[in-house]
Amino acid sequence: MVTTTEDDVTSRAGTTKGSNSRRPVRTTARIVVLALLALIFISPLIFMIVTSFKTRAGATEIPPGWIPNPFTTQAYESIFSANGTPVLRWFANSMIAAVANSAIVVLTASLAAYPLARMSFRGKNIVFGAIIATLLIPPVILIIPNYLVVGSIGWLNTLLAIIVPTAASAFGVFFMRQFFLSLPIELEEAAVLDGTNRFQIFTKIVLPLAKPAMATLALLAFLTNWNDFLWPVYVLFSPEVQSLPAGLSTLQTANAVRYDLLMAGAVIASIPVLLIFVFLQRFIIEGVSRSGVKG
Amino acid sequence: MTASTQVTASREEVAAIPRGKAATGPGRRRGSRLEHNPWTPWVFLAPYLVLFGVFVVLPALLGLWISLHSWDYTLPLKPFVGLENYISLFTPDSINYTDFWASMRATAIFTIFSVPLLLAIPLAVALMMNQKFPGRNFFRAVYFAPYVLGVAVIGVLWRYLLDSNIGLVNYYLGLIGLPDDTAWTTSTPAAWVALIGVTVWWTLGFNAVIYLAALQDIPGELYEAARVDGANAWQQFWNVTIPGLRPILMFVTLITLIASANMFGQSYLMTQGGPSRETRTAIYQITETGLRNFQMGDAAAMSYVLTLFLMVLSVVVFWLFRERKA
């Protein structure tokens, strides 16, 4: 590897005796460094969970305690019952929006990516070029005009405002197209010879093979929508239509020093994404790394 | 073949691998062999293109139109003003000039400090992880974990941890003998350190995962050839690893640059743009101008100016990472 030194060159023929004796030490040092880093990475999240089970006073005590004493669920009880901060409602809103958005992304992106990967037609390069170009334009130029577009459809202050506009996912099309290109074309060719039409080929042959890619895209779209912050902050105004991240920011404004409540809210907002991550992290990490390697 | 020519050949090979992969997907050349009706592809494309047209193409053009008007959302008349909104952004005594350029400065400060850190630290982490050892996937997951939490969660969380009186950060800094009363969210430059540090913590894993996948694609034989050639670890890094990563480095640089230049949530939640708007970024200024004060013409003009800056920067990145003939 990168850390191997010149000694290896001389002893290469005989299974690198010199480096073998050093390697356990190196690996241990490496693991120690990585473990310290991991501790820095994970401790803020642990402290968030710990604080959510503290009392109001406990959340601001010095020195900060890593075990809630007394242990209480009153922060959760109070954000579930409080007026003006309907956290459960926000949770439901975010869940509905993220599921719906991710379904639309997977459906429209898969459909659009297939002809871009497998058919030749006039205008294909223009369409694909236009879609890819939007990957490079910063989203900021769309914020102001999209507010007007969404407003004129009558979607401001409704969940549709955070479901539909962001579903036009250029990344999704690109991602699915790359996946379709990686499939062997022979199955589809054989089906064409049998007289199967392209829609049947797509639904019966291509989509079943594309399940892992679609699952990955669905997860990434879900995470993106669940975590989206700027857009919901500005297009949703009433407390009962807020998404959880936008609601969390209003909770912070209203309860600046109630850290027990804020941490409980943050934990609620983290639960679905952390669960998804713990159980499906392979898909997410592979999806992210594939977006780079094949990009 | 002498060792040195071997290594030279290998370096070109490294540079060629990702390029070849991107340029020739397996099915592209053969896609035309399958017959279809002329309208079939458009049926497949239709649902996406409707969304794309209404929420991407239309707004991109509408934004330009708005920027040429005095467009107050709350007023019935939106008179055409030509380039006035743009001109006022470049006129020092106009109402928007000071706030806009202060916000551009804030975005620039954030970008200049966060991008190099987000390129270098994740690369170091990825290099350390680019070897088989027990717990590797566990570490990878831990570093990636903050990224799956949204900016709302990490903003609210760090606003608490960085509280100058009761925050964890100041408490532990005090324990190791450092100043324990830094106002992380209400004074500069401490606020910048906080915003940049939190962003590095939040997104490091994302870049590291991309690097790691790319590192694993560099053929081991290239390192072996370099070792045969007597290259030490440092030389291997510069002559094998970096050329092998070139396309990925460009990709990571671009997405990190665009993400940093679009920073909003951290500032909105941790510092509320303060102290006295010092950490109010360009995006923050644009959305407040356009969607809180409803001066949409001004805001649209600002967003096009910001976009122009970003496009110039992107071209510079492309140029920096262009292929150089050895």
**Rounded Cα–Cα distance for residues A1 and B226 (Å):** 11
What ipTM was estimated for this complex? Answer: 0.86
Question: Are A92 and A54 contained in the same domain?
Answer: no
**Rounded Cα–Cα distance for residues A246 and A235 (Å):** 10
**Which pLDDT score, from 0 to 100, does residue B233 have?**
86
Residue of A nearest to B161 (CA): A44
**Among partner residues B58, B156, B161, which is closest to A248 by beta-carbon distance?**
B156
**Among partner residues A27, A44, A112, which is closest to B161 by beta-carbon distance?**
A44
- Residue A17 placed within a domain: yes
**Rounded Cα–Cα distance for residues B296 and B70 (Å):** 8
Residue A268 maps to which CATH number? Answer: 1.10.3720.10
Give yes or no for residue B31 having a pLDDT over 60: no
Residue B298 maps to which CATH number? Answer: 1.10.3720.10
- Residue A255 placed within a domain: yes
Question: Are A96 and A71 contained in the same domain?
Answer: no
**Which pLDDT score, from 0 to 100, does residue A83 have?**
66
- Residue B158 placed within a domain: yes
Q: Do A181 and B236 touch (CB under 8 A)?
A: no
Residues 6+ apart with CB under 8 A from A144: B63, B66, B286, B290, B291, B296, B299, B300, B303
**Rounded Cα–Cα distance for residues B282 and B188 (Å):** 17
Question: Are A66 and A112 contained in the same domain?
Answer: no
**Among partner residues A142, A167, A263, which is closest to B59 by beta-carbon distance?**
A142
- Residue B229 placed within a domain: yes
Looking at A19, A48, A77, the residue that finishes a domain is A77
- Secondary structure of residue B295 in the 3-state scheme: strand
Q: Which domain holds residue B138?
A: 102-320
Q: How far is B188 from chain A (nearest CA, A)?
A: 21
Q: Do A120 and B32 touch (CB under 8 A)?
A: yes
Asked whether the beta carbons of B209 and B139 are under 8 A apart, the reply is no
Q: What are phi and psi of B127, to 5 degrees?
A: -65, -40
Q: What is the pTM of this model?
A: 0.85
Q: How far is B189 from chain A (nearest CA, A)?
A: 23
- A18 against B57, higher pLDDT: B57
Q: Which domain holds residue A275?
A: 84-293
**Which pLDDT score, from 0 to 100, does residue A8 have?**
38
**Which pLDDT score, from 0 to 100, does residue A20 have?**
47
B151-199: pLDDT as tens digits: 999 999 999 999 988 899 999 999 998 988 889 998 989 999 999 999 9
Q: Do A115 and B30 touch (CB under 8 A)?
A: no
**Among partner residues A108, A119, A138, which is closest to B262 by beta-carbon distance?**
A138
- Residue A215 placed within a domain: yes
Please give the full DSSP string across B232-269, using - where no structure is assigned: -HHHHIIIIIHHHHHHHHHHHHHHHHHHHHT--HHIII
The chain-wide mean pLDDT, for chain B, equals: 86
Least confident of A116-120, A136-140, B113-117, B223-227: A136-140
Contacts of A33 in chain B (CB under 8 A): 128
Give the number of A-B residue pairs with CB atoms closer than 8 Å: 346
List the pLDDT tens digit at each of the 295 positions of chain A: 343 333 333 333 333 444 445 567 777 888 888 899 999 999 999 999 999 999 988 998 888 889 998 899 988 988 887 666 788 999 999 999 999 999 999 999 999 999 999 998 999 999 999 998 888 778 888 999 999 999 999 999 999 999 999 999 999 999 999 999 988 888 888 888 887 888 888 998 899 999 999 999 999 999 999 999 999 999 999 988 999 999 999 888 887 678 999 999 999 999 999 999 988 888 888 778 776 544 3
- Residue B34 placed within a domain: no
Percentage of residues in chain B with pLDDT exceeding 90? 58
Helices (runs of H) and strands (runs of E) counted in chain A: 15, 0
How many structural domains does chain B have?
1
Contacts of A223 in chain B (CB under 8 A): 148
How many structural domains does chain A have?
2
Q: What are phi and psi of B264, to 5 degrees?
A: -145, -60
- Residue A2 placed within a domain: no
Looking at A21, A56, A77, the residue that finishes a domain is A77
Contacts of A292 in chain B (CB under 8 A): 210, 213-214, 248, 251-252
Give yes or no for residue B5 having a pLDDT over 50: no
Question: Are A92 and A177 contained in the same domain?
Answer: yes
Least confident of A249-263, B4-18, B111-125: B4-18
Residue of A nearest to B135 (CA): A31
- Residue B37 placed within a domain: no
**Which pLDDT score, from 0 to 100, does residue A244 have?**
94
Question: Are A188 and A253 contained in the same domain?
Answer: yes
